[in-house]
Amino acid sequence: MGLGEKIMALIVQKYGGTSMGSAERIRNVAKRVARWKSKGNQVVVVVSAMSGETNRLIALAKEVSPQPDPRELDVMISTGEQVSIALLAMALRDLGIKARSYTGGQVKILTDSVFTKARILDIEGNNIKRDLDNDTVVIVAGFQGVDADGNITTLGRGGSDTSGVALAAALQADECHIYTDVDGVYTTDPRVVPEARKLDRITFEEMLEMASLGSKVLQIRSVEFAGKYKVKLRVLSSFEEEGQETSGTLITLEEDSDMEHPIISGIAFNRDEAKLTVLGVPDRPGIAYQILGAIADANIDVDMIIQNVGHDGTTDFSFTVNRGEYMRARKILEEQIKPHVGARAIDGDNKICKVSAVGVGMRSHPGVASKMFRVLAEEGINIQMISTSEIKISVVVDEKYIELAVRTLHSAFGLDQITA
């Protein structure tokens, strides 16, 4: 039996911004949903705002208020998805399919209260089950939830993926389909490297690394959810014609034992990085805690951390943050840390990026790091920071080298498509 052909499977499908990008595309999504429904499946659809809409709303908010209040920002930027759910419900009803739309709050997607990057805590979803039993397609707004006090929250950029997977987990769906504008997960972003290859399968572990290292095809929290609740997750294209559909990429729990694993499965990169350095801090216990504690208190995520070897009783301490948090983090260092710990100066660079090689095959193959460093050196690319785990190696380089670094590594690790 093919994908989703089990009679009365419960399927959650998420359609992203590009897939919902115009009236015609929304009607196409409706036709696709109708086909899944007509095969006897129960279908819950999660949608994003029409492409560009969330960016437009954020820009408008910033025009009015340079640092918008996070609660109010969430009230505003969640509206894009509300438009999408209603439009899709209308399109489905025009096809003769029973459909009802709901906001995140209406189906009680309960989150914490960290506005603009809230985490899902629980989903009640009673009305979803009732509608499904009533032969109705349920359409839920992605990216949004509600906190315990009834405030609207949003889940961070790309958060509709997480809404989809969390709903699939809560409803114990048979499958979760992430429909997007590419036909699966590739060895790297196909927009940057046209030679990138589509992967038929990728392990959760690798997908988690790829997502957390910048492959925005799936939001990282969606992959975490899928792994934790064993959701059967597939990335598919919403642009394939009826009858021409391919089966996308399956995110698998098992490592295929009969499959020879490539050493590297993919190259991920992230442009949204910034580096901060506290220069000349006293080299004594507690300094790292003081610096990073203040950053954590401000809810700023820290990624790579380096403390240099001390000399003359002082040391330099560097870390990276999301570029959007650079100014806020820098202000904390200037105002709270520098005078407090007696640092010499604060330095920073918000024109850096991170490039990473990911692969479970790395575990059994030494020498990946040295190959990576050699290949980058041959292109004259200076490495500013390095971090490794069992299945990934990441380097920070000047952002002007990003495309060169990604293309070079992609080809050096044999990931390019074999063309005739």
Per rule CB under 5 A, is residue 80 in the interface with Mg ion?
A: no
Tell me the two tokens of residue 419: 């063309």
The C-alpha R_g of the chain, in whole angstroms, comes to 23
Instruction: Determine the interface stretch with Mg ion among 15-23, 114-122, 359-367, 374-382 (rule: CB under 5 A).
Output: 15-23
Per rule CB under 6 A, is residue 111 in the interface with ligand ADP?
A: no
Residues in binding contact with Mg ion, number by CB under 5 A: 2
How many CB atoms are closer than 10 A to CB 56?
13
Per rule CB under 6 A, is residue 18 in the interface with ligand ASP?
A: no
Q: Toward ligand ASP, which CB reaches closer, 58 or 404?
A: 58
Applying CB under 6 A, which of residues 17, 104, 184, 214 lies at the interface with ligand ASP?
17
Applying CB under 6 A, which of residues 12, 165, 217, 357 lies at the interface with ligand ADP?
217
Per rule CB under 6 A, is residue 227 in the interface with ligand ASP?
A: no
CA distance 333 to 316: 13
Cα angle 328, 333, 336 (rounded to 5 degrees) comes to 105
Site for ligand ASP in 125-184 (CB under 6 A): 142-143, 157-161
Applying CB under 6 A, which of residues 13, 136, 212, 215 lies at the interface with ligand ADP?
215
Tell me the two tokens of residue 252: 């698998």
CA distance 358 to 390: 9
Applying CB under 5 A, which of residues 104, 158, 214, 227 lies at the interface with Mg ion?
158
Per rule CB under 6 A, is residue 109 in the interface with ligand ASP?
A: no
Per rule CB under 5 A, is residue 184 in the interface with Mg ion?
A: no
Count CA atoms closer than 13 A to 12's CA, side-chain side: 27
Per rule CB under 6 A, is residue 191 in the interface with ligand ADP?
A: yes
Q: Toward ligand ASP, which CB reaches closer, 48 or 314?
A: 48
Q: Which residue, chain included where needed, has tokens 């040391």?
A: 315
Q: Toward ligand ADP, which CB reaches closer, 136 or 270?
A: 270
Applying CB under 6 A, which of residues 28, 111, 162, 188 lies at the interface with ligand ADP?
188
CA-wise closest residue to 346 among 359, 357, 355, 335: 335
For residues 321 and 396, the answer to whether their CB atoms sit within 8 Å is no
Residue 209 falls in which region: left (phi positive, over 0), alpha (psi -120 to 50) or beta: alpha
Beta strands in 171-243 (DSSP E): 175-180, 201-203, 233-237
Residue 376, amino acid: L
For residues 26 and 91, the answer to whether their CB atoms sit within 8 Å is yes
Per rule CB under 6 A, is residue 104 in the interface with ligand ASP?
A: no
Nearest distance, CB of residue 130 and ligand ASP, angstroms: 26
Site for ligand ASP in 22-61 (CB under 6 A): 48-49, 54
Cα distance from N-terminal residue to C-terminal residue, the chain: 33
Q: Would you tell me which residues interact with ligand ADP (CB under 6 A)? A: 16-19, 48, 158, 180-182, 185-186, 188-191, 215-217, 266
Q: Would you tell me which residues interact with ligand ASP (CB under 6 A)? A: 16-17, 48-49, 54, 80, 142-143, 157-161
